Amino acid sequence: MSVPTQGPGLDGARHTADEVRGSSIGELLRQVTTDLSTLMRQEVELAKAEIREEGRKAGKAAGLFGGAGFGGYMVALFLSLALWAGLSNVMDAGWAALIVAVVWGAIAAVLYSKARQHARSVRGLAQTSDSVQRIPDALKPRPEGVTR
């Protein structure tokens, strides 16, 4: 009587203990590499599907952030116009506009300074580059036919 192994293989076929015992090492290795190859393809397809779904979510979020940014811009514009109009009640309209422009210039300078500090701290792909350099030579791809 044959006893089934732990479950179906990746191809959906169940292999019995007698089938496994009757197979050569070459056949077993072929089955393992075929199953591993199938598993890797399935994992890549799963990763692609997850990336597509996450990309859609990120795109929607980016669009909403863009809309919020435009709304914030409009608020700043109309508050600036209101400040200009309010100041023009106590001084010449030209001077009021200049004061509003100087305030926005100061805000822009502070934001630029902060952005520049943050941009300098970006390291790029330092970790990835470092880990790739530590890959043993045996695992690095080589052109076929070239031996060391």
Residue 100 CB: number of other CB atoms within 10 A?
20
* CA–CA distance, 148 with 145 (Å, rounded to integer): 10
Q: What percent of the chain has pLDDT over 70?
A: 73
Backbone torsions φ then ψ of 141, nearest 5 degrees: -65, 140
What digits encode the pLDDT tens for the residues 105-137? 999 999 999 999 888 887 765 665 666 566 666
User: Taking the model in full, what pTM does it have?
Assistant: 0.50
Q: What is the mean pLDDT of the segment spanning 83-106?
A: 95
Report the pLDDT value the prediction gives residue 4, as an integer from 0 to 100: 43
DSSP letter for each residue of 43-105? HHHHHHHHHHHHHHHHHHHHHHHHHHHHHHHHHHHHHHHHHHHHHTTTS-HHHHHHHHHHHHH
Distance between CA atoms of residues 26 and 11, nearest Å: 18
Residue 27: band (very low, low, confident or very high) from pLDDT cuts 50, 70, 90: confident
3-state secondary structure of 6: strand
String of b and e for 13-25 (b: at least 16 CB within 10 Å)? eebeeeeeeeeee
What is the rounded CA–CA span in Å between residue 100 and residue 80?
A: 7
Which residue ranges make up each domain of the chain?
1-74, 88-123
User: What pairs with residue 8 in β-bridges?
Assistant: 14
Higher pLDDT among residues 9 and 48, named by residue: 48
